[in-house]
């Protein structure tokens, strides 16, 4: 039996691949899903022209090396795409396979971490719950967040630091520190894990002064500063917006007020519940409510009082504090508001459940018969929750196959790309969110795009420049249809300028694909207008 269990990580990885890889081309790409592919496309093809992001790029030859995608998000994930694009081509399957492979590797590393922390049975049960979790499957399949590198770095860091704690070997501590640095480099909100992990360690193991050396502190500081360098430079010295966002001062987001903490706690508690039962991503991708929800939140809720009453020992305590303080970090961050943020708490609920259930079984199983019954109850609980999650996963793929997806994921983007490639000699402007990165990715950067839609909203000089040249000779102006529009302000602004030109015959409206998603306004030459 023990020999067979050696292959369990590979079995879990295989099941995870089976659950994440069906219909990889469905649904159509979502803007944020492919936003970080563009620098990788540039590295391989030289197109589109750089530079990229809000920070000064490095340049090697005629290629730009993008460093920051946003003020709190680096381009590390961009370069994770490069091997898949090189081997399998620049396409949607390659992009989605990248997230799946990274998340699968994190799944295996998480198994070994939990086995070292609490034993083989908790590791198996926790991995089963995570492998079949709808949110883990689809957040990584589409890497909404992005989240896959976060899972890889934090589970690797936990594994190496636990190995250091058990063996006192410098190599493990150094590798764990490197993983923390890479986690911060990937996303600044990896700091949530640093906050939660530090407090969980202190409350579980104490300061443990005898284990620390000055070398440990120096290695840790160097790795964290190296990972944070671009954010520090961008936000403190280059007037980035991350600091103001953390204070809650960014326009359009809730101000940080002590009186709002209760409401934020309720909000994040509900969001965590909907993430665990699979409703959030299903609703995000289909605009519908998930009929059959996972029972995982119930099992998680039951596990907490069981831990308080019956369970002792460091593993469950450490995992409980990881859950608790990650949740606290989310509540205290004003701009944390989506399930891609809530995923920062994963996979600790799954691991906590597994450790608690196994320890409750051991606590109550005083005789052989009781042990068999308790083992059966634990196995039935895990199986029931996993089956409820699998039903949700099946429903998700059924919605994909039936085309019942939110308009943001529409396959009509392929019709848009075909249209633009047929007119690639004409200047093109995209006046809404949800098109630009899709077009650059699907055309491998071949289409040259003009000013992006956000210039309408953010650049005070843009309207005057636009009015001088509008409509540009032979130009294309592409918008979402009125029903599908995302940035209504940008569309209304453009249409206010376009209406008199349409009436004068200087613009011509052209539906794209089935006409439900995109519409183009083509500049008509004076000769054509006559």
HEC-encoded secondary structure of 410-428: CCHHHHHHHHHHHCCCCCE
Cα 54 from Cα 256, distance rounded (Å)? 25
Q: For 366, what's the count of Cα atoms within 13 Å in the CB-facing half-sphere?
A: 1
Q: Tell me the CA distances in angstroms from 79 to 109, 115, 160, 241, one per residue in order.
A: 21, 31, 24, 24
Burial class (CB in 10 A: 0-12, 13-18, 19+), 17: middle
Cα 369 from Cα 362, distance rounded (Å)? 12
> In sequence order, what are the residues at sequence separation of 6 or more whose Cβ sits closer than 8 angstroms to the Cβ of residue 387?
none
CB atoms within 10 A of CB 407: 17
Candidates 404, 407, 382; CA nearest to 395 is 404
Residue 515 CA, chain-centre distance (Å), reads 31
- Which phi and psi angles does 318 have, rounded to 5°? -60, -45
Would you write out the chain's pLDDT as a tens digit for each of its 530 residues?
A: 567 678 999 999 999 999 999 989 888 898 888 989 999 999 999 999 888 888 889 988 889 999 998 888 999 999 999 999 999 999 999 999 999 999 999 999 999 999 999 999 999 999 999 999 999 999 999 988 889 999 999 999 999 999 999 999 999 999 999 999 999 999 999 999 999 999 999 999 988 888 889 999 999 999 999 999 988 888 776 655 555 544 444 443 444 455 678 888 999 999 999 999 999 999 999 989 998 899 999 999 999 999 999 888 899 999 999 999 999 999 988 777 788 899 999 999 999 999 999 999 988 887 888 888 888 999 999 999 999 999 999 999 999 998 888 878 888 899 999 999 999 888 898 888 888 889 999 999 888 887 666 666 667 777 777 888 888 888 899 999 988 888 888 888 889 989 999 988 889 999 998 888 899 999 987 655 44
| pTM recorded for the entire structure | 0.92
Give me the count of residues in the chain: 530
Candidates 113, 123, 119; CA nearest to 8 is 123
Tokens of 266: 């309720």
């Amino acid at each position: 039996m023990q020999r067979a269990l050696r292959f369990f990580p590979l079995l879990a990885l295989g099941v995870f691949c089976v659950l994440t890889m069906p219909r990889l081309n469905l649904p159509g790409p979502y803007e944020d899903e492919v936003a970080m592919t563009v620098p990788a496309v540039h590295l391989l093809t030289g197109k589109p022209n750089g530079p990229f992001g809000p920070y000064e790029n490095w340049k090697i030859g005629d290629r730009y090396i993008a460093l920051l995608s946003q003020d709190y998000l680096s381009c590390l994930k961009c370069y994770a795409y490069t091997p898949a694009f090189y081997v399998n081509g620049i396409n949607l399957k390659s992009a989605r396979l990248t997230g799946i492979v990274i998340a699968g590797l994190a799944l295996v590393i998480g198994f070994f971490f939990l086995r070292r922390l609490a034993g083989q049975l908790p590791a198996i049960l926790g991995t089963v719950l995570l492998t079949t979790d709808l949110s883990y499957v689809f957040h990584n399949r589409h890497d909404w967040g992005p989240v896959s590198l976060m899972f890889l770095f934090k589970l690797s860091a936990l594994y190496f630091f636990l190995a250091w704690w058990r063996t006192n070997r410098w190599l493990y501590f150094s590798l764990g520190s490197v993983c923390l640095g890479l986690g911060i480099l990937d996303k600044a909100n990896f700091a949530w894990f640093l906050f939660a992990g530090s407090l969980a360690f202190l409350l579980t193991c104490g300061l443990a002064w005898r284990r620390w050396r000055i070398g440990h502190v120096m290695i840790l500081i160097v790795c964290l500063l190296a990972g944070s360098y671009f954010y520090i430079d961008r936000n403190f010295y280059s007037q980035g917006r991350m600091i103001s966002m953390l204070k809650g001062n960014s326009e359009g987001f809730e101000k940080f007020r002590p009186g709002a903490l209760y409401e934020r706690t309720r909000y994040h508690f509900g969001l965590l519940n909907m993430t665990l039962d699979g409703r959030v991503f299903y609703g995000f991708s289909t605009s519908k409510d998930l009929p059959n929800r996972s029972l995982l939140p119930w099992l998680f809720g039951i596990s907490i009082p069981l831990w308080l009453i019956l369970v002792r020992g460091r593993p469950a305590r450490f995992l409980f504090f990881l859950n608790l303080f990650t949740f606290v970090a989310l509540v205290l961050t004003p701009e944390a508001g989506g399930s891609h943020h809530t995923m920062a708490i994963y996979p600790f609920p799954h691991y906590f459940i597994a450790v608690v259930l196994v320890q409750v079984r051991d606590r109550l199983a005083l005789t052989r018969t009781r042990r068999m019954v308790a083992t059966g109850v634990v196995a039935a609980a895990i199986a029931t929750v996993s089956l409820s999650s699998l039903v949700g996963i099946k429903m998700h793929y059924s919605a994909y196959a039936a085309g019942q997806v939110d308009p943001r994921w529409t396959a009509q983007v392929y019709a848009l790309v075909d249209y633009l490639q047929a007119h690639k000699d004409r200047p093109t402007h995209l006046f809404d969110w949800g098109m630009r990165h899709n077009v650059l990715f699907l055309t491998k950067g071949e289409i040259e795009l003009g000013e992006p839609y956000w210039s309408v909203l953010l650049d005070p000089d843009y309207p005057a420049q636009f009015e001088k040249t509008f409509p540009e000779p032979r130009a294309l102006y592409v918008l979402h249809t009125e029903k599908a529009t995302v940035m209504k302000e940008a569309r209304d602004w453009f249409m206010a300028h376009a209406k008199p030109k349409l009436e004068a015959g200087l613009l011509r409206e052209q539906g794209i694909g089935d006409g439900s998603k995109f519409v183009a306004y083509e500049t008509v030459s004076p000769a054509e207008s006559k």
